[in-house]
């Protein structure tokens, strides 16, 4: 079925950064058919954008979506990951809770204009089924960890689980399964090498946290006299199949390696600043042409699963860090949330820009709210004025998943089921909090 959106300020995010202040876009469930000023192509469905901004769906390059139940728990706890989050996850997370939390997270992402995301967690075969059911595009990595986890009884058990899921799931038009060794300091080198071998066989990406923690950097310096990035490279695990989350503490030598090996980076400014970890060298990454996308991190870390606040924080943090108001104009920030995010996930041939032949992953941002008037520059409005509640319509592969601000799935039902499933989780969380 063909859909036409008219009277839209279209930001294509293509190579020329073409935009049409009063444009039209026509698409079906296979591809985009037309982008421009006015189309003669007939469509079964016509939507009047009424001056709203139409742009590619946003790409969230790093998340832990199933961690919804952890949101707002011990946000100010020092060393929160090791003292609180991991013990609670091991004691309270199960398949049912992971899936219901994941569905709720997908609703939140869709309603904020995210049409594609990369995720690291557990039970990824069940999470993939949820993605298929809800119609969102995703790359899901089974977490590999040096200790037993909620879905693996043995250390590094996620490696075999993930491989099994990858082999059995097959090729899906929207969902890709992969492996996600948790971090450079929580996996042995041989595990990374085995994971990379499997990932290359399936032609997808390996996701991991890297150059994020002070204690991680100290460990590699003292043990190997290398940085975590150099260590990955020495293993043959830094290449165009690698997606590095954070890289807050990456130095110039690290960035040169990332550039030379064409690895991707996910920049998670909200969670990084909340945890007081620092501000990643984004200016230097972009200057080197490294594929960098924006990530929300998990709802326990960045709290919200939307990229509007991240776009604003990226601009403000980099301008402040470098004392340069002209740095990272709004147009460049929107690129990070769309086409550059797709490039970091190796999906830029399919999504990330509005071009004929690409998949119709796109959103319409309303300009009716008080915060969106007046609008002289659509990019500036998106970065500095817009919020997630301004997202009016969302399409993934041409399918209308958010209509007039509302998701097509029953959001209330999912929330009620999730809340009931969280009873044991709440009890265990209170017990762990008492021990802090």
- Give the pLDDT of the chain (436 residues) as one tens digit per residue: 999 999 999 999 999 999 999 999 999 999 999 999 999 999 999 999 999 999 999 999 999 999 999 999 998 888 898 899 989 998 899 999 999 999 999 999 999 999 999 999 999 999 999 999 999 999 999 999 999 999 999 999 999 999 999 998 878 999 999 999 999 999 999 999 999 999 999 999 999 999 999 999 999 999 999 999 999 999 999 999 999 999 999 999 999 999 999 999 999 999 999 999 999 999 999 999 999 999 999 999 999 999 999 999 999 999 999 999 999 999 999 999 999 999 999 999 999 999 999 999 999 999 999 999 999 999 999 999 999 999 999 999 999 999 999 999 999 999 999 999 999 999 999 999 988 8
Residue 32 lies in a domain: yes
- Residue 419's SS3 state is helix
Residue 86 lies in a domain: no
Q: Tokens standing for 99?
A: 């899936």
**Cβ contacts of 97 within 8 Å, gap of 6 or more:** 66, 69, 418, 421, 422, 425
Residue 81 lies in a domain: no
DSSP one-letter code for 183 = B
Residue 241, pLDDT score: 98
Residue 112, pLDDT score: 98
- CATH number (domain holding residue 153): 3.20.20.140
β-bridge mates for residue 206, sequence order: 242
- Same domain for 262 and 176? yes
Residue 368 lies in a domain: yes
| DSSP line for 212-252 | --HHHHHHHHHHHSS-HHHHHHHTT--STTEEEEE-TT--H
The count of domains in the chain is 2
Q: Tell whether the torsion through CA atoms of 368, 371, 373 and 376 is positive or negative.
A: negative
Residue 77, pLDDT score: 86
C-beta separation of 141 from 183 below 8 A: no
- CATH number (domain holding residue 367): 2.30.40.10
- Same domain for 52 and 122? no
Element (H, E) at 25: strand 19-27
Q: Tokens standing for 43?
A: 């469509």
Residue 79 lies in a domain: no
C-beta separation of 177 from 205 below 8 A: no
Task: Using the 3D structure, point to which of 294, 312, 344 is the last residue of a domain.
Answer: 344
Residue 56, pLDDT score: 98
Residue 90 lies in a domain: no
Q: Tokens standing for 17?
A: 């950064």
Residue 13, pLDDT score: 98
> Considering all CA atoms of the chain, what is the largest pairwise distance in Å, rounded to the nearest integer?
67
Q: Tokens standing for 211?
A: 């150059």
- Same domain for 298 and 328? yes
Residue 382, pLDDT score: 98
Q: Tokens standing for 153?
A: 């009884």
Residue 375, pLDDT score: 96
Residue 171, pLDDT score: 85
Distance separating alpha carbons of residues 152 and 226, to the nearest angstrom = 30
Distance separating alpha carbons of residues 174 and 110, to the nearest angstrom = 14
Residue 16, pLDDT score: 98
Q: Tokens standing for 413?
A: 């039902």
- Same domain for 195 and 167? yes
Residue 170, pLDDT score: 79
- Same domain for 232 and 374? no
Q: Tokens standing for 400?
A: 């209308």
Residue 79, pLDDT score: 87
C-beta separation of 241 from 206 below 8 A: yes
In terms of residue numbers, what domain contains 52? Answer: 3-56+359-407
Peptide bond into 374 cis (omega under 30): yes
Task: Using the 3D structure, point to which of 314, 344, 374 is the last residue of a domain.
Answer: 344
Residue 434, pLDDT score: 87
Residue 426 lies in a domain: no
SS (H, E, C) 313-350: HHHHHHHHHHCCCCCCCHHHHHHHHCHHHHHHCCCCCC
- Same domain for 184 and 215? yes
Task: Using the 3D structure, point to which of 344, 379, 394 is the last residue of a domain.
Answer: 344
CA distances to 21, 360, 362 from 4, in Å: 16, 11, 12
Distance separating alpha carbons of residues 206 and 319, to the nearest angstrom = 31
Residue 211, pLDDT score: 97
- Same domain for 45 and 158? no
CB atoms within 10 A of CB 76: 8
Distance separating alpha carbons of residues 416 and 391, to the nearest angstrom = 24
Distance separating alpha carbons of residues 52 and 27, to the nearest angstrom = 18
- Same domain for 187 and 296? yes
Chain-centroid distance, C-alpha 371: 26
Residue 419, pLDDT score: 97
- Same domain for 379 and 239? no
C-beta separation of 317 from 279 below 8 A: yes
- Same domain for 63 and 47? no
Chain-centroid distance, C-alpha 177: 15
Which of 420, 411, 425 has its CA nearest to residue 104? 411
- Same domain for 257 and 394? no
Distance separating alpha carbons of residues 220 and 230, to the nearest angstrom = 9
- Same domain for 327 and 364? no
Q: Tokens standing for 66?
A: 């199933």
Residue 377 lies in a domain: yes
């Amino acid at each position: 079925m063909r859909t036409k959106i008219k009277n839209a300020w279209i930001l294509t995010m293509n190579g020329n950064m073409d935009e049409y202040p009063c444009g039209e876009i026509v698409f079906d469930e296979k591809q985009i058919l037309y982008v421009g000023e006015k189309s003669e192509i007939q469509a079964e469905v016509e939507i009047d954008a009424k001056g709203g901004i139409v742009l590619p769906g946003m790409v969230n390059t790093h998340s832990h979506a199933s961690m919804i139940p952890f949101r707002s728990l011990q946000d100010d706890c020092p060393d929160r990951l090791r003292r609180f989050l991991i013990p609670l996850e091991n004691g309270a997370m199960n398949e049912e809770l992971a899936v219901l939390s994941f569905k709720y997270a997908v609703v939140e992402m869709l309603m904020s204009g995210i049409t594609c995301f990369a995720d690291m967690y557990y039970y990824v075969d069940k999470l993939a089924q949820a993605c298929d059911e809800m119609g969102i595009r995703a790359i899901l990595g089974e977490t590999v960890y040096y200790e037993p986890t909620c879905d693996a009884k043995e250390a590094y058990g996620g490696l075999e689980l993930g491989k099994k899921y990858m082999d059995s799931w097959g090729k899906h038009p929207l969902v890709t399964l992969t492996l996600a060794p948790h971090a450079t300091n929580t996996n042995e080198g041989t595990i990374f090498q085995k994971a990379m071998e499997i990932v290359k066989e399936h032609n997808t990406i390996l996701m991991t946290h890297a150059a994020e923690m002070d204690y991680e950097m100290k460990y590699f310096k003292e043990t190997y006299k290398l940085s975590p990035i150099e260590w990955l490279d020495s293993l043959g695990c830094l290449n165009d199949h690698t997606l590095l989350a954070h890289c807050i503490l990456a130095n110039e030598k690290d960035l040169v390696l990332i550039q030379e090996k064409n690895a991707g980076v996910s920049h998670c400014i909200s969670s990084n600043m909340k945890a007081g970890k620092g501000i990643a060298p984004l200016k230097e990454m972009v200057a080197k042409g490294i594929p960098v996308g924006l990530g929300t991190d998990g709802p326990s870390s960045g709290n919200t699963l939307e990229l509007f606040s991240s776009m604003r924080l990226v601009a403000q943090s980099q301008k402040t860090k470098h004392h340069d108001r002209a740095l990272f104009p709004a147009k460049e920030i929107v690129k990070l949330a769309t086409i550059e995010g797709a490039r970091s996930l190796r999906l830029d041939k399919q999504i990330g820009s509005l071009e004929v032949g690409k998949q119709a992953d796109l959103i319409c941002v309303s300009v009716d709210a008080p915060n969106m008037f007046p609008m002289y520059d659509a990019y500036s409005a998106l970065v500095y004025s817009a919020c997630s509640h301004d997202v009016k319509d969302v399409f993934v592969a041409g399918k209308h998943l958010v209509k007039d601000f509302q998701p097509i799935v029953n959001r209330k039902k999912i929330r009620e089921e999730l809340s009931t499933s969280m009873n044991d989780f709440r009890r265990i969380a209170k017990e762990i909090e008492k021990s802090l």
